[in-house]
Amino acid sequence: MKQFSSKTKWISLIITVFLSGLVFGFVGGQVWQHYQFVKRFKERPHPNKLIDDMARELSLTPDQVKKVSAIMDSRKEEFDKVIPGFREKIREIREKTDKEIEAILTPEQKVKFSQFREKHFKRDMRPRQDNMPGEPGMNPPPPPPPFEKEK
């Protein structure tokens, strides 16, 4: 049986370590990417949870909860039709929805609603780092000014 020289053994070891690194790096990258996708998906508020949180934090009456729920349901179809590249349309729909919700709130609830929006939609208020193709430098608008209490 033929003996390999020490030079050949070292070269084989280096190639093996290099290929192992490639395989583990690829697999690790795939696992990390999957983890980030799942994490991002779980961060999105479920509509019913959002309405429950809004009802609790704004002290909505049962009638107001029904109206907010109806408003959200009526806008869901509009949201579903808009593809991710149309951020401006999403912003318009959100503003329209917010105005309708604000119309049924008391002045104290409007202040809480403003804080609620900032808390629950802060992710949407950050400038985007990963702009979509065809949207150079597109960033979401700044948050609306807080409501002032009526005197």
Distance CA 103, CA 134 (A): 36
Q: Burial level of 41, CB count in 10 A (0-12/13-18/19+)?
A: exposed
User: Based on the domain organization, do 93 and 53 belong to the same domain?
Assistant: yes
User: Based on the domain organization, do 27 and 64 belong to the same domain?
Assistant: no
pLDDT at 129 over 80: no
Domain range for 35 is 1-43
pLDDT at 25 over 50: yes
User: Based on the domain organization, do 96 and 35 belong to the same domain?
Assistant: no
At residue 109, the pLDDT reads 92
Average pLDDT score over residue span 33-61:
78
Q: For the chain, how many structural domains are there in total?
A: 2
Phi, psi of 81 (to 5 degrees): -80, -25
At residue 142, the pLDDT reads 62
Residue 63 lies in a domain: yes
User: Based on the domain organization, do 53 and 27 belong to the same domain?
Assistant: no
User: Based on the domain organization, do 35 and 52 belong to the same domain?
Assistant: no
Residue 136 lies in a domain: no
User: Based on the domain organization, do 16 and 38 belong to the same domain?
Assistant: yes
User: Based on the domain organization, do 51 and 111 belong to the same domain?
Assistant: yes
Residue 68 lies in a domain: yes
Measure Cα distances from 139 to 35, 91, 132, 151 in Å. 26, 11, 11, 36
pLDDT single digits (tens) 50-88: 888 889 999 999 999 999 988 888 887 777 776 556 777
Distance CA 89, CA 35 (A): 30
User: Based on the domain organization, do 74 and 114 belong to the same domain?
Assistant: yes
Asked whether 150 and 107 are in contact (CB, 8 A), the reply is: yes
User: Based on the domain organization, do 35 and 54 belong to the same domain?
Assistant: no
Residue where the block lists tokens 């509509």: 47
Residue 17 lies in a domain: yes
Query: Percent helix, strand, coil in the chain (nearest 5)?
Result: 70, 0, 30
Residue 33 lies in a domain: yes
Point out the least confidently predicted range of 41-50, 69-78, 100-109: 41-50
User: Based on the domain organization, do 38 and 52 belong to the same domain?
Assistant: no
Residue 132 lies in a domain: no
At residue 134, the pLDDT reads 43
Amino acid at 77: E
> Six-digit token pair at 42?
């779980």
More confident of the two residues 19 and 78: 19
Residue 31 lies in a domain: yes
